[in-house]
Structure formats: structure tokens, C-alpha cells
């Protein structure tokens, strides 16, 4: 088992990221608060560098590599947001990056990854093996693998999101009863849970996933890692995983209050609400936590709820389809 990160690790990551990561805003809508009967605070991480929280973990890990490791470059595999985070971090640090991406990833994510100077290797998601491809590149080059979630440095970096959110809510005298965030491998919600367990232990933290990809919710219910059958159509491309990470689940099993699941229609409503009420563009995978609140997955009346909108890298066609009601 890899070492489990602590609040000290998250604080150290925050220092490394200072001046590089954007302190993303916390947004509030009086109309939505009145509608739900609660105080809903949105952490707009979709406005982060590269358009998602993934930059935090990638920069924290890559900046900590030795000079010898940096000279050989880094490798990552990702459907898009982690790819962009690694590419941007590597560019800042002057390191070569090679990213293995599925050919059906949103074109905006592929283009953005390349624009930051990374070499992109595409594969067929249906029959390709991204891990094997990455391992072959590592064997040939000696590059360091930067995993998307299952590494203590990644979790600590992503946990700076939760630490920052806590500090911002504390500054406006808001004590969160609930914190909800999207979950794929579990690194971001786990890292954020580490921060909140240290700063606000009474806050209940929930992972939110799309229907058909609720591996964390099922795993939390059973108390062990569950592997699901994938293949259910979903526009939440950032969250399509079959099982939680070993390290991330070890954290989440201890710190999370549970897992919530939302439908595609509920997620589409959240994307529209984010755009219309909070004036932000949120991709499907980044909107599931907001969807859970709007759909009444938790009892909101009289509470203060923090929601993390993790990414804004959505194709224009998908965003247009959502706004036009295709997924209602």
C-alpha cells in the first residue's frame, strides 16, 4: 500500500502550487438558495488552469521529481483533464510529456493537451490497453508515470482544492454541513476529505457519480473495492471508471459519508443551471455533484452545502445539445 497522505502533505502541496494554480472562486445564487431552502456554495474549479482540478495534482507530483527524473520526461494516460494538467505542468517545468489518450476523447481536450506541447498517443478505447502503451513508453524512455489519482502526491495536490474551499467558506462565516464532489478514481474527493476532516470534521463529504459508473458508491456500501461492468452510454467522459483506486479507496472508506448517483438528465439540468444561474461552463463529469443537490439526493433544507464543479472542458456540440434539451 502506498503511504496515505495527511493534512501536512496537502498543506505542503498548497505551498508548491502557490503562484501556479488559480484560486478559483466560490459562487452563490440567491435564487437557487431560495429554491432549495439552503445555502449552496459552488467551488468553480472549472475556472482552474487547464479548465479542471487535475492541474493541482499533476504539478504537485511533477515538481517534486528529481532532476534526473525530470530529464527523462513524464508519461500519463487520460481521457482529457489529467492529460491537460500533466501537459501544462510539464510545460511550466520544462519537461517532456507524452500522454496516452482514447481516440474518442473530446476533441477540445486532445487539442488543448497538444497545445501545451505534449506528445499525444491515441488508442482505441474499445480494445486498446492504455496502461500497456504507457508502460512500453516508460520502458523505452525511462520516463516517470504520473497517475491520474492513485498516488499520494496526486491526492495531496488535488486535496488543495478542498483546503482552499474550506478557507474561502470560513472567510465568509459559512460552516458546511455537506461537501459534494464528482468522483472517478477518487483522488480529488479523497484529498478534499483529508482537508475537511482536519479543518471541519463535522462536514459530511459525499462522492457523486453518473449512473452506470457508480463503482465508488457500491464499494463504499460493501466496504471493499467493487469492479463494475462498464459500457453504459454516458456523456460524463471524465468519470467512466470500473473500480476505485486502491489508495484512494483506503482514504474514502474512512472519510466519506457515502456515494450518490445521478442520471444523465439530472446532470444536464445541472449544466444548464450552472450556465444560467452561476454563469459558468461546466462539463458533464464536472456537474454531477451540483446535479445531486438539485435532484434532492440529500436533504438540503436549512443546511449549508458546498459543491465542487471540477471541470469545464466540454465540446461545443455537447454543450449546445444540453442547452437545447437533447438530454432532458
pLDDT in tens, 196-239: 999 999 999 999 999 999 999 999 999 999 999 988 899 998 89
160, 7 Cβ separation under 8 angstroms: no
Query: Final residue of a domain: which of 102, 123, 145?
Result: 145
Q: Please, what is the angle between helix 54-63 and helix 152-171, to 10°? A: 130
Burial 103-118 (b: 16+ CB within 10 A, else e): eebbebbbebbbebeb
Percentages helix, strand, coil for the chain (3-state, rounded to 5) are 50, 15, 35
Provide the pLDDT for residue 47.
Answer: 98
Question: How many angstroms separate the Cα of 167 from the Cα of each of 43, 163, 173, 208?
Answer: 12, 6, 10, 23
- Do 201 and 75 lie in one domain? The reply is no
- Do 19 and 129 lie in one domain? The reply is no
- Do 66 and 160 lie in one domain? The reply is no
- Do 62 and 38 lie in one domain? The reply is no
What is the distance between the alpha carbons of residues 57 and 49, in angstroms, rounded to a whole number?
12
Residues of the chain predicted below pLDDT 70: none
Q: Quick check: is 1 in a domain?
A: no
- Do 187 and 41 lie in one domain? The reply is yes
Provide the pLDDT for residue 316.
Answer: 93
| Domain interval for residue 125 | 55-145
- Do 167 and 252 lie in one domain? The reply is yes
Count of domains for the chain: 2
Question: How many angstroms separate the Cα of 182 from the Cα of each of 19, 106, 214, 237?
Answer: 26, 18, 11, 12
Provide the pLDDT for residue 289.
Answer: 98
Query: Final residue of a domain: which of 145, 177, 210?
Result: 145
Look up the pTM and report it. Answer: 0.95
Q: Quick check: is 181 in a domain?
A: yes
- Do 238 and 250 lie in one domain? The reply is yes
Q: Quick check: is 2 in a domain?
A: no
- Do 19 and 136 lie in one domain? The reply is no
Query: Final residue of a domain: which of 93, 117, 145?
Result: 145
The dihedral built from the CA positions of residue 248, 24, 31 and 301, taken in this order, carries a sign that is positive
- Do 109 and 158 lie in one domain? The reply is no
Amino acid at each position: 500500500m502506498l503511504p496515505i497522505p495527511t493534512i501536512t502533505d496537502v498543506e505542503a502541496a498548497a505551498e508548491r502550487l502557490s503562484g501556479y494554480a488559480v484560486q478559483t472562486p466560490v459562487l452563490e445564487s440567491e435564487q437557487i438558495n431560495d429554491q432549495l431552502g439552503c445555502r449552496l456554495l459552488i467551488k468553480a474549479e472549472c475556472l482552474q488552469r487547464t479548465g479542471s482540478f487535475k492541474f493541482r495534482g499533476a504539478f504537485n507530483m511533477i515538481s517534486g521529481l528529481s532532476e534526473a527524473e525530470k530529464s527523462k520526461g513524464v508519461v500519463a494516460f487520460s481521457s482529457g483533464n489529467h492529460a491537460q494538467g500533466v501537459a501544462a505542468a510539464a510545460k511550466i517545468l520544462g519537461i517532456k510529456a507524452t500522454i496516452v489518450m482514447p481516440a474518442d476523447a473530446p476533441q477540445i481536450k486532445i487539442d488543448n493537451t497538444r497545445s501545451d506541447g505534449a506528445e499525444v498517443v491515441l488508442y482505441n478505447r474499445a480494445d486498446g490497453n492504455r496502461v500497456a502503451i504507457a508502460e512500453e513508453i516508460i520502458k523505452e524512455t525511462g520516463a516517470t508515470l504520473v497517475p491520474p489519482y492513485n498516488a499520494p502526491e496526486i491526492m495531496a495536490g488535488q486535496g488543495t482544492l478542498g483546503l482552499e474551499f474550506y478557507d474561502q467558506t470560513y472567510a465568509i462565516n459559512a460552516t458546511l454541513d455537506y461537501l459534494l464532489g464528482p468522483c472517478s478514481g477518487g483522488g480529488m474527493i479523497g484529498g478534499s476529505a483529508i482537508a475537511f476532516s482536519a479543518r471541519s470534521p463535522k462536514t459530511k463529504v459525499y462522492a457523486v457519480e453518473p449512473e452506470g459508473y457508480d463503482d465508488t458508491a457500491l464499494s463504499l456500501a460493501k466496504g471493499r473495492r467493487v469492479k463494475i461492468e462498464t459500457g453504459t452510454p454516458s456523456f460524463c467522459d471524465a468519470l467512466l471508471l470500473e473500480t476505485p483506486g486502491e489508495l484512494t479507496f483506503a482514504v474514502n472508506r474512512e472519510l466519506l459519508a457515502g456515494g450518490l448517483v445521478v442520471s444523465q438528465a439530472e446532470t444536464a439540468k445541472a449544466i444548464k443551471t450552472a450556465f444560467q444561474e452561476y454563469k459558468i461552463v461546466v462539463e458533464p463529469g464536472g456537474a454531477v455533484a451540483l446535479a445531486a443537490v438539485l435532484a434532492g439526493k440529500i436533504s438540503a433544507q436549512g443546511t449549508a452545502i458546498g459543491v465542487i464543479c471540477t471541470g469545464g472542458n466540454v465540446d461545443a456540440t455537447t454543450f449546445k445539445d444540453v442547452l437545447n434539451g437533447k438530454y432532458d
